[in-house]
Amino acid sequence: MTHLKLGFMLFALTAIQAPKLYADEKHADKAHMAPTAAVAVMAATKGNKVEGTLMLKQFEGYVEITGTVSGLTLGKHGFHVHEFGDLRDPEGKSAGGHYNPTGAPHAGPHDAHRHAGDLGNIDADDKGVATVKIKAEGLEVHHVLGRSLVVHAGPDDLKSQPAGDSGPRVAVGVIGVQMPDAK
C-alpha cells in the first residue's frame, strides 16, 4: 500500500472517529473551534526547586507567553517549547527536543529560520525569579497543546546546534487548554 493511500485511510478514519470540540452547535464558528488560551504549570526536574505558571494567549500572528518562574539561579535560562508533553523522566528528557515542525536549524526567537519552539531566554533576578513576557511570532496555541515548555539551567546561545547549549532541564510543564474566563 502506498504512503498516500495509507495517509488518506488514516485521515478518513480520524475524521470519522474525531469527537466534536463542542457539543453545542452554536459554537461551531472558527473562533470557538481552536483554543486561544493555554496554561503550563512548571514542575521542577530531579534535584531542582524551580516552579511557576505560564499563560499562553493567541493573538493575530503570535502567541504571548506571560507568567513567573521561581527557584532559578541568577541570569539567563534557555526557554523552549519541546515536542512532547511527557513528564515521566525525572530529568525532563521525555519532553523530547525542541518543537520544530519545519526541520529548521536552532536559532534565536527573532530569526527567520528557527525552530518554532525557540523562545530564547528568560532572565532570573537576584531572588531567582524570572518574569516572563514573550511575543512568540508565528506560534499558534492550538499547535502546541499537549507539548511542553522547558526551562534550562543555563543560557541559550541562540546558535549552537541542535538546541543552543543551554544545559539540563530544570523545569518542565505540559501546555494545556486554559479554562475559559480563568484569571
Catalytic sites, residue numbers: 80, 82, 98, 106, 115, 118, 152, 169
Q: Grid coordinates in use for 66?
A: 506571560
Q: Please count the other Cβ atoms lying within 10 Å of the Cβ belonging to residue 52.
A: 24
- Whether the CA torsion 102, 105, 111, 115 is positive or negative: it is positive
Own/partner pairs, 113-118, CB within 8 angstroms, 24+ separation:
115/80, 116/81, 116/143, 117/80, 117/81, 117/82, 117/83, 117/144, 117/147, 118/80, 118/156, 118/158, 118/164
46 within 8 A of 153, measured Cβ to Cβ: no
The CA-atom distances, in angstroms, between 7 and each of 15, 18, 80 are 12, 16, 30
DSSP element (H, E) containing 31: helix 30-33
The CA-atom distances, in angstroms, between 132 and each of 2, 76, 97, 122, 158 are 47, 12, 21, 6, 18
